[in-house]
Chains A and B, each alone.
Chain A
């Protein structure tokens, strides 16, 4: 199995630009999670989907962030417009079941907003 795939691995952009991060979960997994990791705040859950439906988006920082899961094999996290404080590593993870289950993490996308 290829594991969770994220792209791009690195993204450098200027403030105000739109950024789209992509994730392909492990085939057959029903839940998908987006996290953000920074030195200051650690690992934060932004949003998670179960069977392609957003279940909890309470961690999404503000309206500039949006996430979609159009089908079971693809999800995007979009930031528009981006700001320097959005600089972080963004992880996607997937799991077989919605809860009480192992989460499998992708390698992350390191985002730098100048």
Chain B
């Protein structure tokens, strides 16, 4: 099965609210990355967190990583309609450097 599993599969919120997405994985990793995909487009890299980091921020994004629980979360604060997209976590396993395994993604809808 895939390395990254995301939760929830779909999320619908109002503009201004915060959105939290979770990702769990199975094996030890070098790093975990989050990507966004707008409908009909390619994936866009959002943020990378290394296995020795616990938290990282980028603008309205906050990512946490708990290697003991093999999980990560992506928080989008003060969401906007333009944040509507699918969000994927991707992991690079320790044993397989260079290969990213993507989760199934969380579809986020932000209503104006």
Cβ distance A70 to chain B, nearest Cβ, rounded Å: 21
Chain B residues numbered 21-40 whose CB sits less than 8 Å from any CB in chain A: 30-31, 33, 35
Asked if A73 is at the interface of the complex by the 8 Å CB criterion, the answer is no
Number of B residues near A (Cβ < 8 Å) is 24
Residues of chain A at interface, number, CB under 8 A: 22
Q: Is B101 an interface residue (CB 8 A)?
A: yes
Which of B92, B98, B99, B105 has the most C-beta atoms of chain A within 10 angstroms of its own C-beta?
B98
- Determine how close the nearest CB of chain B comes to the CB of A91; give it in whole angstroms: 6
Decide: A103 and B98 in contact? CB cutoff 8 A: no
Contact B98 A50 (CB under 8 A): yes
If A42-B104, A42-B105, A43-B88 touch, does A98 touch B45 (CB 8 Å cutoff)?
no
Please give the residue numbers on chain A whose beta carbons come within 8 Å of chain B beta carbons, in ascending order. 4, 31, 33, 42-43, 45, 48, 50, 55-56, 91, 93, 98-100, 102-108
Measuring CB to CB, which residues of chain B are less than 8 angstroms from any residue of chain A?
Answer: 2, 30-31, 33, 35, 41-45, 48, 50, 88, 92, 96-105
